[in-house]
A and B are shown apart, each in its own frame.
Chain A
């Protein structure tokens, strides 16, 4: 187990370095010069050169890269061109919003997907059972941003019961010490604030979570179907266990491992999906900020955000790998 963790950590460092190089090079060769967006109509070539030097873009690419890498290793991610603030500080402010949203979406997807899979297994011999697969297929086919627009129309316009944008009602005078609004408000027993934060989270959470729930349903249902014909389940059935207990106590335990591995992979896609979903709901996480950073060609911020996304992907995959190993005795011993 320990050697697996060490191996994963080394791989993670190598992967992050690769991400850093690729992102740095891509941003420099991609169209869109941040200085070109800032130069005034009356600027002379000398003015433009001065502006380029002001933002540290006047040296060679290798020099820029090594300076950037050196600074990052020192914990300095640079200063955002558009926000005029330390990149690390901004990301530390915004990342918790995305994390709360992503984990809430994951929890919602796991609960819904798991429940539907169990229910579908329980009613698999009903004539209407294929209907579940049909509806699930629909949820699988619709991407998160379409859900987002549909939810805006449904709960924002036709039945306006949920807030359309933001993370908390702007008219509330709630002050938070940490950027983890939901956790902090719950921990400090400010339930009205927690409810408001949660209400703002519902629509983006649904948009992100529904497609993942459909994936979980499909995989878990299939695993349960396979497990339900195994000898140990048949033996348990002969012992007189009810169908519900068969599914929950016998089949689910063995069926959950492949679902867990796939959920981990899909969770990284969910985090990627926050970019567009946060934009639609004006949710102030790093996804929404990434869009502005790209529009403004804010190179230090884009680089920092990409590293954060990369690190998140790596951490999630590592956690899932370790979780799968921990839950599967054969992998653990081998």
Chain B
């Protein structure tokens, strides 16, 4: 055995220090084949996917889906699949709901997953005291009964989308016994799920390291280790992938996407996701109560031009709040770009380019790709037909506050995600008066939408929503703009399956 004195030890340590300092960078991009490093665009604030702001942040769901399993699974094309529930449904008169729980599943700590975990998670989600933001959905079920692997529940308030929500925000099952043992703070420090990856190390605002769950009931992840590096700055994410420090990144500017995807060693995919750009119309000021003005504003916007030029073709123009792929998408509803029609509509109300109608429009800047530029372009198009709109830039937090108080400017740009593609979670919540997220509040629309919330005939329900969308388009109650596409750049040695929900789940990345 070699013995070192203190001087030799220090000299060896110093040498190690210097060589690591000087040469460490040379190995920075040398990813081991079993490690996937994702330069991710948001930080993970909390490990509890059922409470707080992060629970309703669609971008974080990719991480949650890696650690936890949902009641109901979802395929990359938005269709649903068995999750920790293998089957689900209602009885004939829809007064009871039933769920079959998957057998043979174990939590990350090795304890068995049971129907009691499902019931506890649903009851906790439905309890207003826990602060689950989607409590209004989960509270619709109650009085759970367990019989073997089947759970039945009383339907306190019928919601046709409750099983879809089980694949959506806050629809995660947590381990009852473990959570009760360690409490909320203990769970944050050492989270346990049943998903395809287990938490190995976490440094807030820096990285999350996951290890493959070898006991996972479903298809196992392709990588032994997955590292999410939290890099919220877009320029830094571009540098991460370009330097080879990361294997995959997403949500980078479209210009950078076009540049990087053709670079040797890199590849890219940019497919439509369930996220749309739209302009809310608030029916408070008199200009917005004028149907001619609203319709003129809609017909004056050349959405094709915006999608092709401004968004470099990575967007799909839409006529309603239902994007292609959503359940109530109706391609027959069309709202053409027609500036002459816009002019004539405005003329009927006494407006012209010389005597324009004036109002304010709010927008974020940099929150979504080209949001401010899009509104600038739209204001330019409006000016040509007789609309003089003044742009006000605001933060997204202010948008939420103003929208909840029905105090948005006459028009306000926003993006709306709908990862389950149901019309109630797009048109419904965006346009129904009682929803704190609606801006246009009118009785005619409420009369149409109201009965659809509890409609038990699914075909009739979807047809009803399509009729609502058609009516909204005819009346000009909102301005749908485009469906976004999500740019993902990755090493050419990998294969990435784009997810229409926008969640870049590590299980969708494999070796090419």
Cβ-closest chain A residue relative to B203:
A284
Closest to A84 in B: B46
- Closest CB of chain B to A204's CB: distance in Å? 11
Q: Taking the complex as formed, is A39 at the interface, i.e. its CB lies under 8 A from any CB of chain B?
A: yes
Distance of A157 Cα from B133 Cα, bound (Å):
42
Per the bound structure, the CA–CA distance linking A75 and B276 in Å amounts to: 45
Contact among A279, A280, A292 with B45 in the assembled complex (CB-CB below 8 Å): A292
Is A283 located at the chain interface by the 8 A CB criterion? yes
Q: Is the CB of B435 within 8 A of A166?
A: no
9 A-B pairs with CB atoms under 8 Å apart are A38-B56, A157-B243, A163-B25, A164-B239, A164-B243, A165-B236, A289-B204, A292-B45, A295-B397
Q: Is A43 close to B, CB under 8 A?
A: yes
A283 to B129, CA, bound (A): 35
A41 contact from B53, B207, B229, B437, Cβ within 8 A: B437
18 further A-B pairs in the complex, CB-CB below 8 A; given A84-B48, A84-B184 = A32-B397, A32-B400, A36-B400, A39-B436, A43-B136, A44-B434, A82-B45, A82-B52, A83-B204, A152-B239, A156-B240, A156-B245, A165-B39, A170-B229, A191-B14, A282-B230, A282-B233, A288-B205
A149 touches B13 (CB 8 A): no
- For residue A24, CB closer than 8 A to chain B, the reply is no
Size of chain B's interface in residues, with CB distance under 8 A? 78
Cα-based distance from A276 to B43 in the complex (angstroms): 15
Q: Which residues of the partner chain A approach B133 to less than 8 Å between Cβ atoms?
A: 38-40, 43, 51
Q: How far is the CB of B250 from chain A (nearest CB, A)?
A: 15
- Tell yes or no: A334 within 8 A of B by CB: no
A283 to chain B, nearest CB (A): 7
- Kindly identify, within residues 180 to 233 of chain A, every residue whose CB is under 8 Å from any CB belonging to chain B: 189, 191-192, 194-196, 198-199
Please name all residues of chain A whose beta carbon is closer than 8 Å to the beta carbon of B18 when the two chains form the complex.
Answer: 195
Nearest 5 A/B pairs, CB to CB: A41-B429, A32-B397, A195-B20, A161-B25, A191-B17
Given contacts A156-B239, A189-B9, A282-B229, A296 and B53 within 8 Å (CB-CB)? yes
Q: Does A327 contact B (CB under 8 A)?
A: no
Known pairs A42-B429, A164-B240, A192-B20; A284 contacts B35 (CB<8 A): no
What CA separation (Å) do A169 and B227 show in the bound complex?
A: 10
Q: Is the CB of B209 within 8 A of A170?
A: yes
Q: A36-B400, A161-B26, A171-B225 are in contact. Are A81 and B52 (CB under 8 A)?
A: yes
Give the interface of B toward A (CB within 8 A): 9, 13-14, 16-21, 24-26, 28-29, 32, 35, 37, 39, 43, 45-46, 48, 51-54, 56, 128-129, 131, 133-137, 184-185, 188, 201, 203-207, 209, 225, 227, 229-233, 235-236, 239-240, 242-245, 394-395, 397-398, 400-405, 425, 428-430, 434-437
Q: In the complex, A298 Cα to B14 Cα: how many Å?
A: 43
* In the complex, A266 has a CB within 8 A of chain B: no
Do A160 and B395 touch across chains, with their CB atoms under 8 A apart?
A: no
Most buried by A among B24, B48, B56, B235: B24
What's the minimum C-beta distance from A54 to chain B, rounded to whole angstroms? 5
Which listed residue (A36, A43, A82, A160) contacts B401, Cβ 8 A? A36
A23-47 interface with B by 8 A CB criterion: 31-34, 36-44, 47
Number of A residues with CB within 8 Å of any CB on chain B = 70
Among candidates A47, A166, A288, residue contacting B135 with C-beta atoms closer than 8 Å: A47
Contacts of B243 in A (CB 8 A): 156-157, 160, 164
Q: Chain A residues with Cβ under 8 A from B203's Cβ?
A: 166-168, 170, 284
Q: Which residues of B contact A166 (CB under 8 A)?
A: 203, 206-207, 229
Closest B residue to A37 by beta carbon equals B400
In the assembled complex, the Cα of A162 lies from the Cα of B227 at a distance in Å of: 18
| Contact between chains at A195 and B227 (CB < 8 Å) | no
Chain A 136-153 residues near chain B, CB threshold 8 A = 149, 152-153
Set of chain A residues within 8 Å of B19, measured between Cβ atoms:
195
Nearest neighbor of B130 in chain A, beta-carbon distance: A54
Q: How far is the CB of A43 from chain B (nearest CB, A)?
A: 6
Please name all residues of chain B whose beta carbon is closer than 8 Å to the beta carbon of A268 when the two chains form the complex.
Answer: none
List residues of chain A with CB within 8 A of the CB of B135.
Answer: 40, 47
CB-CB nearest in chain B for A145: B233
The listed residue (B14, B235, B430) touching A152 by CB distance below 8 A is B235
- B227 near A94 with CB under 8 A, answer no
Chain B residue at smallest Cβ distance from A174: B201
